[in-house]
């Protein structure tokens, strides 16, 4: 952009803590260098991937889009004129936790906002202003929010100057709690379908007391919970309706928490489900005397989006008398229906109905992989050679996803396989495995037996093969020597006997040797010699012609 359409903003922001930061110490949940405030109760750090924020030599966070920023080049310095320039994701504010000091309660969600006196500058979270208590965002213990800025030059044309630490402050405080000694300003009255009057009071942000009077037996009595915190403002109880209510008057108390209640414990079913918040009920009537309860709750849309949670994966569970958990038929309220009922459009709304009153949990379905059968491709393999184990894998969870199954030999992992399945689907997975040492192994996949594999020593097999080759060579040599004796009359019978070590190669019966010399042959030779001598003597006596 040319110089006549751009103006440089000299903005060096040093963040300090101001206002209502009376927090107790908690263990740090942040890694790396940081600007720690209020005895490490609040931690400020440059956001990942930005060059506009850094820690100075005093470990103070600095947001700087001026030419003095050592991380910027000249091309990236400045803001547009007659426009709003946004710098998202500049720094993070992490709240490490609270205690009961200053009226705070362990594990409370906190309201965070920023105030300042700098013209043309707005602090933002997710692109929305976060200035003043009315525009605060909720932050939970050990959670962070990412802060950016927007610079508006539509009126001024240019902005210059430095924002000093006295010009603004970061505020972090618990949401207001009604004073129990004063009339409850959050109380609400309404009439049920049969004319019952109801009152809702809020002793705390995560507690509600519902009372009803003049109830006609069997009528439905609705209550407005007014966004009771279940997991801060991220998950809230909004409505409750008692159907088939007892006649006269009754009271119903509700309490929310991100942690499980002792009377029910943590969620361990259905497979793959993870609890995000819990709600416990107390009442002064016989629960068997009512038809049921309809629960309306909601989640902040950004809370779900930031965690990649599909609204259809959100469900409501109820603790059973036998210590388990059952899933209720929770459903998402359609946006058009929510708008017609006047429900906030920045939240995702859910409803579920139960016939029993107990402890409830808002949970998120996830994939859960179960190996239903397994087998080995080979009964015998060589040590160090790759083999294959087959497994039938089923997704018994309530959401699609990827998973890993592990093959073991005598309990030790020897290979893993991957699967990607929709809820209720199954597939055949092949797991490549390797056995390091010879022996006999019991193989399983995620605990499901696959069989027994005998692992051979390839070195021992090679030695056996070498011995067999030497025997064969000796036999061949012996045969060659024997053949040479027959052809040339120079055979050495002793050599044959020494070399012929393989008894299986010898003939069953003796074989006559053509080159043998016995007594019979000697007698014949002597007779021939006598004939020759006699012939010579007779020849000498005969007269010459």
- At 11-47, the pLDDT tens digits run 444 443 333 333 333 334 556 777 666 556 678 888 8
* Whole-number pLDDT of residue 114: 83
* CA 307 – CA 302 distance, rounded (Å): 8
Nearby residues of 505 by Cβ (< 8 Å), 6 or more positions away: 475, 478
Are 370 and 271 spatial neighbours (Cβ–Cβ below 8 Å)?
Answer: yes
* Whole-number pLDDT of residue 433: 94
Domain 369-456 CATH superfamily: Immunoglobulins (2.60.40.10)
Paired with 369 in beta bridges are: 395
* CA 263 – CA 251 distance, rounded (Å): 20
* CA 89 – CA 116 distance, rounded (Å): 19
285 three-state secondary structure: coil
DSSP 8-class letter at 10: -
What are 378-404's pLDDT values in tens digits?
999 999 999 999 999 998 877 788 889
* CA 344 – CA 297 distance, rounded (Å): 12
* Whole-number pLDDT of residue 132: 79
* Whole-number pLDDT of residue 239: 95
Query: Is pLDDT larger for residue 79 or for residue 360?
Result: 360
What is the Cα Rg of the chain in Å? Answer: 46
DSSP 8-class letter at 47: P
Pairing of strands 143-152, 168-173: unpaired
CB atoms near residue 399 (< 10 Å): 19
What are 410-460's pLDDT values in tens digits?
999 999 999 898 888 999 999 999 999 999 999 999 999 999 999 999 877
188-364 topology per CATH: Chondroitinase Ac; Chain A, domain 3 (2.60.220)
DSSP 8-class letter at 253: E
- Same fold across 188-364 and 369-456: no
* CA 497 – CA 212 distance, rounded (Å): 115
Q: Judge whether residue 227 has pLDDT over 90.
A: yes
* Whole-number pLDDT of residue 71: 78
pLDDT band at 232 (very low <50, low <70, confident <90, very high): very high
Locate the domains of the chain by residue range.
3-173, 188-364, 369-456, 459-505
Q: What distance, in Å, lies between the first and last C-alpha atoms of the chain?
A: 147
Pairing of strands 448-456, 380-382: parallel
* CA 461 – CA 470 distance, rounded (Å): 15
> Residue 22: is it exposed, middle or buried by C-beta count within 10 angstroms (0-12/13-18/19+)?
middle
* Whole-number pLDDT of residue 458: 85
pLDDT (mean) for 48-68: 80
* Whole-number pLDDT of residue 412: 94
Q: Judge whether residue 78 has pLDDT over 90.
A: no
Are 209 and 57 spatial neighbours (Cβ–Cβ below 8 Å)?
Answer: no
């Amino acid at each position: 952009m040319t110089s006549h359409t751009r103006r440089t903003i000299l903005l060096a922001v040093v963040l300090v803590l101001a206002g209502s930061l009376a927090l107790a110490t908690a263990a740090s949940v942040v890694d790396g260098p940081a600007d720690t405030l209020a005895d490490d109760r609040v931690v400020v750090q440059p956001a990942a991937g930005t060059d506009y924020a850094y820690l100075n030599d005093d470990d103070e966070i600095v947001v700087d889009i001026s030419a003095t920023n050592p991380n910027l080049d000249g091309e990236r310095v400045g803001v547009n004129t007659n426009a709003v320039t946004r710098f998202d994701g500049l720094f993070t504010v992490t709240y490490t936790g609270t205690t009961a000091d200053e009226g705070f309660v362990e594990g409370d969600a906190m309201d965070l906002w920023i105030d300042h006196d700098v013209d043309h500058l707005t602090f933002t979270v997710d692109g929305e202003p976060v200035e003043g208590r009315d525009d605060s965002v909720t932050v939970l213990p050990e959670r962070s929010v990412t802060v950016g800025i927007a610079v508006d030059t539509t009126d001024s044309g240019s902005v210059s100057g430095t924002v000093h630490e006295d010009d603004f402050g970061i505020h972090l405080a618990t949401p207001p709690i009604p004073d129990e000694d004063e009339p409850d300003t959050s109380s609400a009255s309404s009439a049920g379908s049969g004319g019952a009057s109801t009152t809702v009071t809020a002793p705390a942000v995560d507690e509600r007391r519902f009372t009803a009077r003049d109830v006609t037996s069997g009528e439905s009595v609705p209550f407005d919970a007014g966004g009771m915190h279940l997991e801060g403002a991220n998950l809230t109880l909004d409505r409750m309706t008692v159907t088939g209510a007892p006649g006269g008057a009754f009271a119903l108390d509700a309490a929310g928490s991100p942690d499980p209640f002792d009377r029910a414990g943590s969620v361990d079913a259905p497979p793959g489900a993870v609890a995000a918040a819990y709600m416990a009920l107390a009442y002064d009537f016989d629960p068997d005397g009512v038809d049921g309860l309809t629960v309306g709750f909601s989640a902040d849309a950004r809370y779900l989006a930031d965690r990649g949670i599909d609204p259809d994966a959100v469900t409501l569970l109820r603790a059973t008398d036998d210590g388990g958990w059952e899933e209720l038929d929770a459903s998402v309220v359609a946006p058009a229906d929510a708008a017609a009922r006047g429900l906030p459009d920045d939240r995702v709304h859910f409803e579920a109905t139960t016939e029993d009153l107990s402890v409830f949990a808002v949970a998120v379905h996830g994939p859960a992989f179960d190996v239903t059968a397994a087998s080995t491709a080979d009964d015998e393999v060589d040590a160090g050679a790759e083999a294959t184990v087959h497994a039938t894998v089923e997704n018994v969870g309530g959401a699609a996803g990827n998973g890993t199954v592990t093959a073991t030999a005598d309990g030790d992992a020897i290979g893993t396989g991957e699967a990607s399945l929709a809820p209720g689907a199954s597939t055949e997975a092949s797991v490549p495995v390797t056995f390091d040492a010879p022996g006999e192994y019991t193989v399983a996949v995620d605990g499901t037996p696959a069989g027994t594999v005998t692992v051979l020593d390839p070195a021992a097999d090679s030695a056996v093969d070498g011995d067999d080759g030497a025997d064969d060579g000796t036999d061949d040599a012996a045969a060659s020597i024997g053949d040479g004796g027959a052809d040339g009359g120079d055979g050495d019978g002793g050599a044959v006997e020494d070399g012929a070590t393989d008894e299986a190669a010898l003939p069953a019966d003796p074989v006559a040797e053509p080159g043998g010399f016995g007594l019979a042959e000697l007698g014949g030779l002597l007779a021939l010699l006598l004939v020759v001598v006699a012939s010579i003597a007779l020849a000498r006596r005969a007269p010459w012609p």
